[in-house]
Amino acid sequence: MKSAIIIFFSLLGFYGLKAQHTHKGAKPLFYPNIEGYVTLKTDLHMHTVFSDGNVWPTIRVQEALRENLDAISLTEHLEYQPHKEDIPHPDRNRAYHLAMAEAKEHDLLIVPGSEITRSEPVGHSNAVFISDANKLLHDKPESAFEAAKEQKAFVFWNHPAWYRQSPTGDPILSDFQKKRIENGELHGIEVINTGDYAKESLALALEQNLTIMGTSDIHGLIDWDYTEKGMHRPITLVFTKEKSLSSLKEALFAGRTVAVYNSLLVGKVEFLKPLLKASIKINSATYHEESQVLAVELENVSSSDLLFKNAMPYNFYSKAPIFTVKAGEKETIQLKTLKNIETIDLKLKALKAYTAPNENPIVEWKLTID
Ligand code: ZN
């Protein structure tokens, strides 16, 4: 009897422990790897009570685990500290250390970061992969950027299209930023921040060769701002050689990213096309019996609903030429090929994917017909 009780409790302990390590929430994010790279899901812009956020750093870690992210950064405003009276913290690395302790048992990378916060024309920028946030505290913004460079940080321009800094809602590349880019002190730009995608920011990213970023800039709860509304937070997919901090940093400097906000995907063509291609698995391609109508089953293995337009010379049978393959779901299209063929280049234009302002990539899959 006694041993049965012991077995019972040890099983309880075992399963209890296992349960404790299943942190995925109701809507975990999934994106496929692309050829030669591991796809990491990251959110490198968020806040806690250590600046103007409303939660303790541990919550940010738990939210990230629930959404199945691979890397996050707590980027507290260095200069804007509204909770300082209640939560004094002479060490500006404190939020990072608390997040590190929380993430220790988990497969989540914590990137040390800070937000350099000024009014326009300097604006806000995140320095990530820093070694000491305290050393970024300077009166002159130029000195803060210099210090970030000394720490070999990756620095990106936050919400350049924010109407409170740029009243037209269009980003303005100031002389300050031009100088930072020239000095190798500014490497990336948010094209998606919170819910806002600015195509003008994408134009700047391409023109200045800055890394394309998408971030939540969350201050409250991910659940309230996104999940509860049936959405995911904006993220940056980073195509890395392996899942590690050093690989993530290398890939950010190399510009291997796609910014994602639910069904919207924004990135350089050389990364966005392979991502879309890998996101759709072709399960089958078969002619209906004694006909020239070819049924092709597509499966979306990503967490973004994908909106496509037929870009082939063949018309669709029984479906509009614009259609959605929902995240994680299957969809069959039927092509009228007019004669029986053995191979086909399936070509679809991804209508909510942007490789430049107003430019949608056409993705191709080579199919052999069963
Ligand atoms: Zn911020």
- Kindly state whether residues 93 and 42 are assigned to the same domain: yes
Contact assessment for residue 158 and residue 217, using Cβ atoms and an 8 Å cutoff: yes
The reply to whether 127 and 196 lie within a common domain is yes
What integer pLDDT is reported at residue 21 of this predicted model? Answer: 60
Same domain? For 139 and 180 the reply is: yes
* pLDDT tens per residue, range 301-353: 999 999 999 999 999 999 999 999 999 999 999 999 999 999 999 999 999 99
Q: Is the dihedral of CA 23, 27, 29, 32 positive or negative?
A: positive
CA–CA separation, 136 and 113 (whole Å): 10
Count H helices and E strands in the chain, helices first.
9, 20
Q: Tell me which residues have their CB within 5 A of the ion that is ligand 1.
A: 115, 217
Each residue of 153-169: pLDDT tens digit? 999 999 988 887 778 88
Rg of the chain over all Cα atoms, to the nearest angstrom = 23
Cα of 84 vs centre of ligand 1, distance in Å, is 17
Is 320 found in the same domain as 202?
no
Q: Are residues 152 and 227 in the same domain?
A: yes
Residues 194 and 88 in one domain: yes
Cα 242 to ligand 1 centroid, rounded to whole Å: 28
Neighbour count for residue 336 (Cβ, 10 Å): 13
What pLDDT is recorded for position 162? 82
Looking at 197, 228, 262, the residue that finishes a domain is 262
Give backbone dihedrals phi and psi of 307, rounded to 5 degrees, phi first: -100, 120
C-alpha of residue 13 to centroid of ligand 1, in Å: 41
Does residue 177 sit within a domain?
yes
Residues 41 and 127 in one domain: yes
Asked if residue 17 belongs to a domain, the reply is no
Indicate whether 267 belongs to any domain: no
CATH code where residue 236 lies: 3.20.20.140
Same domain membership, residue 287 and residue 186: no
Q: Domain of residue 297: give its range.
A: 280-368
Which of 214, 230, 262 is the C-terminal boundary of a domain?
262
Query: Cα(223) to centroid of ligand 1, in Å?
Result: 18
- Tokens standing for 277? 């291609």
CA of 251 to the centre of ligand 1 (A): 22
Question: Which tokens in the block code for residue 297?
Answer: 């089953």
* Domain assignment of residue 2, yes or no: no
Give the CATH number for residue 299.
2.60.40
298 shares its domain with 171: no
From the CA of 193, how far away is ligand 1's center (Å)? Answer: 9
In a domain, 352, yes or no: yes
Q: Within this chain, do residues 172 and 37 fall inside the same structural domain, yes or no? A: yes
Residue 6 lies in a domain: no
Q: 268 alpha carbon to ligand 1 midpoint, in Å?
A: 24
How far is 188 from 186, CA to CA, in rounded Å? Answer: 6
**What pLDDT shows up at residue 251?**
98
Q: Which residues of the chain have pLDDT under 70?
A: 1-22
Q: Is the pTM of this model over 0.95?
A: no
CA 80 / ligand 1 centre spacing (Å):
10
pLDDT of res. 4: 52
- Is 13 among the domain residues? no
Domain end call among 262, 293, 326:
262
Same domain for 180 and 104?
yes
169 shares a domain with 63: yes
Taking the centre of ligand 1 as the mean of its atom positions, its distance from the CA of residue 308, in whole angstroms, is: 33
The CA distance from 70 to 88, in Å, is 30
* Residue 8, domain member (yes or no): no
* C-alpha of residue 26 to centroid of ligand 1, in Å: 26
Q: What pLDDT was estimated at residue 221? A: 98
Q: How many domains does the chain have?
A: 2
The alpha carbon of 20 and the centre of ligand 1 are apart by a number of angstroms equal to 31
Specify the 3-state DSSP secondary structure of 197: strand
